[in-house]
Amino acid sequence: MDFGFSPLDEEFRAEARDWLAAHAPGSCDRRSWERVLGAAGWIGIGWGEGGYGNRAASLTQQVAWAEEYARSGAPGRSGHIGENLLAPTLLAHGTDEQKARFLPPVAAGGELWCQGYSEPGAGSDLAGIRTRAELAGDGRTYRVTGQKIWTSLAHEADWCFVLVRTDPESMRHRGLSFLLVPMDQPGRIEVRPIRQLTGTSEFNEVFFEGAHARVEHVVGAAGDGWRVAMSLLGFERGVSTLAQQIGFAAELGRVVRTAVETGAADDPVVRERLVRLWAELRTMRWNALRTLGGNGGPGAPSVAKLLWAGWHQRLGEVAVQVRGAAAGVGPVDWSPSSPYELDDAQHLFLFSRADTIYGGSDQIQRTIIAERVLGLPRERKGVV
């Protein structure tokens, strides 16, 4: 495939690199960093529409920005859910009023979002959700009741887009609605962080106890939530995959250096694993470029997820393997206030165990490929 960057793209890349070098801190409050990005117009460059305080950028320029951001070592983004998931969904399905209300604050880095999809007992099976939204007597608000789980950044978010059941008599994917819910509702919304193997808590449980949401904040139409939700899932992969691979390459580089330093690279089995990881990462990049812009067909997002999730787990396994016995010891002594801390290799190994689960488990991705691409018989639901 002939994928190249034009002189204009390279000018854009140079501008992005220079701006990041001048402004990106090594560490800072992530919310403040979102506002810095927004003030310079760097949020929402891939929306396809300007006028919300964001720059306009071609697809190749979006790739250049994402790659330079990953290379710069800038702080992890806390606004990516609003920018890369909610915003494209509103541009595709939202009303003019919804776009005017919600897109400018996202572009400015002023409002952060989380995603209310997964539920206990349903997991990746979105059609099995039980969170319900009942229309109040005034006809102007919904009351949301139920529980969501594995909700990334819910403890920081101002808003949550929630897939709810608005038709109590409906089954599976029918009768669902895509609803925008404000998170600042004490007594009606409770967020409980979930402590992970890594000791951190990026994911959360969210409990809705009659939380209020306005009728005009239904995206699409009441009962049309499944179509909107499926559209959103298509936005989860794309340009961001290429930026993700820049981070993967940096992690692989650190593992290779450690293998050389510890002597593990002298083992031919370890060398074979490292070479295979390098080759697979190159293949993932070529596949991402091939499918950029939605050219890979209906199964492309699922294929991409299967490729990178398994690869990242294998990298985590090699990262601790090349450390030898030292991989079992933390970088600082244990204390009651800090039971354990992890170095980069240990964090990679433990956190990557979730890669094949979140964002749609491997089993779900294979089912999508089987049914929607290969045309195999649909999986039977609700059968033990």
Tell me which residue of 121, 125, 119, 149 sits closest to 363, measured CA to CA: 125
Using the 8-state DSSP alphabet, how is residue 324 labeled?
G
Q: Please enumerate in sequence order all residues whose Cβ is within 8 A of that of 149, keeping only pairs 6 or more positions apart, or say none.
A: 118, 119, 120, 194, 203, 204, 205, 206
The residue written with tokens 């854009």 in the block is 12
The verdict on whether 341 is a catalytic residue reads no
CA 107 to chain centre: 18
Q: Out of 111, 236, 251, 280, which one is annotated catalytic?
A: 236
Q: Are 72 and 21 in contact (CB under 8 A)?
A: yes
Three-state SS for 228?
helix
The residue written with tokens 């049309």 in the block is 224
Tell me which residue of 142, 140, 139, 117 sits closest to 130, measured CA to CA: 117
- C-alpha to C-alpha distance for 245 and 308, rounded to whole angstroms: 9
Structure token pair of residue 208: 């809705």
Q: Are 99 and 93 in contact (CB under 8 A)?
A: no
Q: What are φ and ψ of residue 46, in 5° steps? A: -100, 15
- C-alpha to C-alpha distance for 322 and 345, rounded to whole angstroms: 10
What does each C-alpha distance from 57 to 41, 101, 260, 263 come to in angstroms?
11, 22, 41, 46
- The end-to-end CA distance of the chain, in Å, is 46
The residue written with tokens 């299967």 in the block is 306
- The sign of the CA dihedral 120, 122, 127, 130 is negative
Q: Are 50 and 56 in contact (CB under 8 A)?
A: yes
Give me the active site residues, please: 236
